Amino acid sequence: MNLNLFTRIRSCAALPPLAVLLGAIATLPQMEARAQGAPDFFADRQITLLIGGGGGGSVDIYGRIVGRYIAKKLSPTATVVPRNLPISGGVQAFMTLGSTAPRDGSTFATSARGPLADPLLALKPATYDPRSFIWIGSINEDMSICFTRKDSSVKTLEDARLIEGTMASTGALAESAKFPLMVNALAGTKFKIITGYKGASDTRLAVERGEVDGQCTTYGSVLATQPQVLTGEDYNLLVQIGDQPNPLGKNAPVITQFLKSEDDRRLLDVIVKPLLITSSYALPPGVPADRVAAWRKALQDVLKDQQFLDEAKKVGLEIDYRTGEQVQELVDGLYKTPPHIVDRARQIFGYGSANR
């Protein structure tokens, strides 16, 4: 008999024998997990990567690259199995991480930024809380660009304030919907969101086929999947969503030019702050501390790997690293948004109002 089990039974002699035995046996997996150190745990381990985005999008591309490298940093014999969960702009990935994912360090997740703020905005209690996740870190920051096809009637932001332009999105809660809705609220545009596309590749094809006028997405996604957008030859660049202009956006105005108050600034932060931790990686709550430390060190080691850096450069992934602690601080700050700003964002994005 396991010595620890025997000792536990002896110390609980006053309890009925069957209850003692069952209680002691129930603790065995936890005892064994604590006894198994991080290096041994990851050896020959099949690690699950939950990807909150469709195949072919930047979340998928970046996640799979990082996944391959980080597994080998955890253990030379570890492997990663990617699992795409693109529903509702990636919410499904975080729901899984916060509910059914094993809490032993064998599962991690990356997602589009939208799901970071969804529990803040939702009128009903969410099934996950990003503040409870253990953040491994993030590897770049981003901003958004809205664009249309060259033959669209909406060629400038001024046109978008006069003409209804259709914009493709994967879902009503996805970033691809929230970006143009935020521009509507702050700059007076008339973007109409067309939802139901399955992943970034479908929204891209919808624009190319002429089903919609354009879309709003991140520079990271554009660079990874459709860099031709930024040449200005076949597309009109309408507006940039972020704090500062990006040279890639050429002469497209920045949304901050249209802010009229501090409340507008705080409202914009609801979608800008998540952009600061683009391509972030998280573990579920409850992962043992030594394995968390191993994950964080593994990500740091990936970012020092020249082979990874070369591959990242090929897909347009710029490295702007933030530690797990820094990501946690940004997430906590997002959830301190004043209630009246949260309520305004809810109405803009279609969640409704908590005050109704």
pLDDT tens, residue by residue, 114-126: 889 889 998 888 8
Separation between Cα atoms, residue 122 and residue 88, nearest integer Å:
13
- The pLDDT score that the predictor gives to residue 234 is 93
Predicted local distance difference test score (pLDDT) of residue 353: 63
Q: Can you tell me the mean pLDDT for 80-106?
A: 92
pLDDT value of residue 341 = 97
Provide the pLDDT confidence category of residue 36 given band limits of 50, 70 and 90. Answer: low
Specify the 3-state DSSP secondary structure of 259: coil
Return the residue matching tokens 């409850």.
Answer: 286
Amino acid at position 34, single letter: R
pLDDT at 17: 42
Q: What is the pLDDT of residues 146-180, one digit of tens each?
A: 999 999 999 999 999 999 999 999 888 788 999 99
**Lowest-pLDDT range of 26-30, 252-256, 336-340:** 26-30
| pLDDT, greater one: 15 or 129 | 129
Instruction: For residues 348 and 185, give the distance between their C-alpha atoms in angstroms, rounded to a whole number.
Output: 7
**Which residues in the chain are classed under CATH 3.40.190.150?**
38-141+277-349
Mean pLDDT taken over the chain: 88
Task: Label residue 182 by pLDDT band (50, 70, 90).
Answer: very high
Predicted confidence at residue 22, as pLDDT, reads: 35
Decide which of 1.10.3720.10, 1.10.357.10, 3.40.190.150, 3.30.365.10 is the CATH code for 38-141+277-349: 3.40.190.150
Cβ count near 294 (within 10 Å): 20
User: What is the enclosing helix (H) or strand (E) of 119?
Assistant: helix 114-121
Query: Nearest CA to 180 among 214, 150, 211?
Result: 214
* Beta bridge mates, 239: 146
* Under 8 Å between Cβ of 98 and 150: no
pLDDT of residue 15 exceeding 70:
no
Question: Tokens 């908590």 sit at which residue?
Answer: 354
pLDDT attached to residue 198: 82
| pLDDT recorded at residue 284 | 98
Q: Among the CATH numbers 3.30.1050.10, 1.20.1280.50, 2.60.40.3670, 3.40.190.10, which is that of 144-273?
A: 3.40.190.10
Where in the sequence of the chain do the CATH 3.40.190.10 domains occur?
A: 144-273
> Does the structure show a pLDDT above 70 at 76?
yes
DSSP string, 23-64: HHHHTHHHHHHHHS-HHHHHTT-EEEEEEES-TTSHHHHHHH
Give the residue-averaged pLDDT of 90-104.
Answer: 94
| 122-154 pLDDT per residue, tens | 888 888 999 999 999 999 999 999 999 999 999
Other CB atoms closer than 10 Å to residue 94's CB: what's the count?
Answer: 31
